[in-house]
Amino acid sequence: MSGPALVGITTSVTADDYLGGDPHRAHLNRAYVLAVQQAGGIPVLLPPYLNGSTLDALWDRLAGLVLTGGGDVNPQRFSEPRHDAVDGVSEARDVLELELAARAVRQGLPLLAICRGIQVLNVALGGSLHQHLPASYPDSRIAHAQQAPREYATHDVKVTVEDTKLGAVLGAPELRVNSLHHQSIKRLGRGLRDVAWAPDGVIEAVDMPEAPGLVMGVQWHPEDLVGRDPAARNLFTALVTAPNHR
């Protein structure tokens, strides 16, 4: 019997260098759960602590995947020395999400990659990252790590709407977005196309024209904007309703 789409959502976890003495945790901002539900999907959390058989059983039931924000990807994953500003690295999370990103692209499972998620997607496909934007873009006036609350949009992005899957979903050539990151795409991964940019040239969104399924990556946090932004709602609706090609 068919029903609402089950959407896997990866979680943040305790960083490898955390010294607080508390147990390791998997955690997730509630905005992701609410955004998937608002779009008609059923959220299923995917922490890296699941064993292989459990993860595979869940994977077989999923109709979509959200790669979420959080700590930095280990720069060893794209063969660069680590910048001093890199923070929040979790080897367990990197292993899980890089595998899930590659698996979703390969199998045609609809994918929405958000903030860290777009970076994971890019690295999974052989791309690299700017490890610290203030070092890579020293003259930028864009506050990519905004001080305003998460639900407030603080800078513009330009979007290529014509002949792009993601542009059609977003539905506008220019958007105002929130910004809560210090890293971004540097060298694009295999098959990815950049389709949106901040005024300073930072890549803000990608899609994948030749992928068997829908692949969308955004550097901002649409889950925090769904209450007031049609483009943010469109992203989650597109994910939940997209064909599953597995």
Q: How many Å apart are CA 199 and CA 149, to the nearest integer?
A: 21
Q: How many Å apart are CA 153 and CA 150, to the nearest integer?
A: 8
Question: pLDDT of 98-110, one tens digit each?
Answer: 999 999 999 999 9
Sequence-distant (6+) residues with CB within 8 A of 129 are: 73, 75, 78, 119, 122, 123, 183, 184, 185, 186
What is the pLDDT at residue 89? 96
| 38 phi and psi angles, rounded to 5 deg | -60, -30
Question: pLDDT of 59-74, one tens digit each?
Answer: 999 999 999 999 999 9
Q: Is the pTM of this model over 0.95?
A: yes
Confidence of residue 246 (pLDDT cuts 50, 70, 90): confident
Side chain identity at 115, as an amino acid letter?
C
Q: What is the mean pLDDT of the chain?
A: 96
What is the pLDDT at residue 21? 66
What is the pLDDT at residue 121? 98
Domain parsing of the chain, residue ranges: 6-241
Confidence of residue 54 (pLDDT cuts 50, 70, 90): very high
Catalytic residue ranges:
115, 221, 223
What is the pLDDT at residue 2? 66
Protein fold of 6-241: Rossmann fold (3.40.50)
